[in-house]
Amino acid sequence: MKKLTILFTALAFLPSAFAQNADDYRGGWKTEVNGVPRTYEFSIRGETVRGVYCTWCADATTLAFVDGRFGRDGLSFTVTHVDNNGKATFTDIGTAKFKKPSLVVTGTLAGPGGGNFKWTMIKDDRGPDPLPIPIVMLPPGREIPVLGRGGGPGAAKGGPAATKGSVAAAAPGGGGRGGYVPPGPWLKLTPDIVAGSWLGFGTGVNKQYFIVKKVGSKLRGMVCGRCDNPYTMAALDDFVIDGEILHFNILHEDWGDYSIPFDKHVAARISGNEMRIVTSQDNLPPELANRPPNTDPNAGTSLIGPNPSRGHDAEPLEVASLIEVLREEPEKHVKQSVFSARRLYAQTANMRK
């Protein structure tokens, strides 16, 4: 009887012995197939998996959306590709299994050039960009520089921190003399106004792309910058439009400030060609979380858009497609952004002659 009890006790622990660790899977993975980059970004909360897939990731047309499940056998998921109206055009099917230090992804690609595949994917050796605050990352154990005053580096240890906090204060306002002044009245938002590529936080290859797409009746997206490093990208989800205010989350998985995983909460308004955003997060240390909130109604940082271009690492945008945009819906685009409309007009001037 004693032996049977020991046997049953051992059997009870078998599922946990073979259980998967979500930290081995979460975040960005990359490979290259026939000269084409392939990137997955997996967000895992319990058994729920969300995220994004892309090839030339600054090109919004390559962005597709991951939905799936995390369990004892790893990840099982679908990747939904959509057109500009949010209609699903085709769906890939995949599974992923962690085999240290790689992720082996197998499945079927739908759409043009599709078929069965098996990819061995890796984390990017470059890791996340250093910031003036401690950054943690997965896998743990790596030291990440902390940029001090004047650019002097300190060091922060990689891996999740234990500190938890509450809502962060809004980012400070800006805009030069007299503070930030919006370019016009705040717009009453719709999915069509929000969808597109919004650029900010610097210039050159390291600037950030906030790409928002319609997916059925929802909005989903991705932020990247630079866009060829999975550590410097994250899925955008949980979009809610409330009159003039847009709310969404940045899903931090394998890198972030203070602790991971966490969601960075974004509140945004749009005026002219600017999306004005403020952020907060739930994982700040108490000394930061307990600061009084910024009450400046114009506080934040501006993104510029919606940008019709495909991005710095993509093929050139076909000018003919821009002509069709102006021909079919000129009034909507002029109302949405006079700046964008003038840019489109200039880009297509030679073809109209």
Whole-number pLDDT of residue 269:
96
Whether the bond between 128 and the residue before it is cis, its omega within 30 degrees of 0, is no
* Cα–Cα distance measured from residue 344 to residue 44, given in angstroms and rounded to the nearest whole number: 39
3-state secondary structure of 226: coil
User: What is the mean predicted confidence (pLDDT) over 229-241?
Assistant: 98
Q: Rounded to 5 degrees, what angle do the CA atoms 282, 286, 291 make?
A: 90
**Number of residues that this document lists for the chain:** 353
In whole angstroms, how far apart are CA 294 and each of 3, 173, 182, 225, 276? 65, 9, 18, 27, 15
Please name which of 68, 27, 79, 57 lies closest in space to residue 222, comparing C-alpha atoms.
Answer: 57
CA distance 249 to 239: 7
Q: 61 pLDDT exceeds 50?
A: yes
**Across 18-22, 118-122, 232-236, least confident range:** 18-22
Decide which of 185 and 162 is more confident.
Answer: 185
CA 157 to chain centre: 24
Model confidence at 159, pLDDT cuts 50, 70, 90, reads very low
User: Averaged over 231-259, what is the pLDDT?
Assistant: 97
Give the integer Cα–Cα distance in Å for 94 and 102.
16
- pLDDT, average across residues 192-210: 94
Mean pLDDT, the chain, integer: 81
pLDDT band at 291 (very low <50, low <70, confident <90, very high): confident
Percent of the chain with pLDDT over 90: 60
Give the pTM.
0.78
Q: How far apart are CA 348 and CA 322, in angstroms?
A: 7
The 10s digit of each residue's pLDDT in 73-123 is: 999 999 999 999 999 999 999 999 999 999 999 999 999 889 999 999 999
> Which helix (H) or strand (E) segment is 247 a member of?
strand 245-252
Question: Is pLDDT of 295 > 80?
Answer: no
Query: What integer pLDDT is reported at residue 133 of this predicted model?
Result: 87
Which own/partner pairs from 204-212 qualify as long-range (CB within 8 Å, at least 24 positions apart)? 205/312, 206/129, 209/58, 209/311, 210/236, 210/275, 210/303, 210/305, 211/60, 211/63, 211/236, 212/236, 212/239
Q: pLDDT: is 285 or 275 the higher one?
A: 275
What's the pLDDT score for residue 178?
64
| Whether residue 338 has pLDDT greater than 80 | no
Q: What is the pLDDT of residue 325?
A: 41
Give the chain's count of helices (H) and strands (E). 8, 20
Whole-number pLDDT of residue 115 = 96
**Could you give the C-alpha distances from 134 to 20, 22, 225, in angstroms and in order?**
28, 23, 19
Can you tell me the mean pLDDT for 174-186?
Answer: 77
317-335 per-position pLDDT tens digit: 333 344 444 444 444 444 4
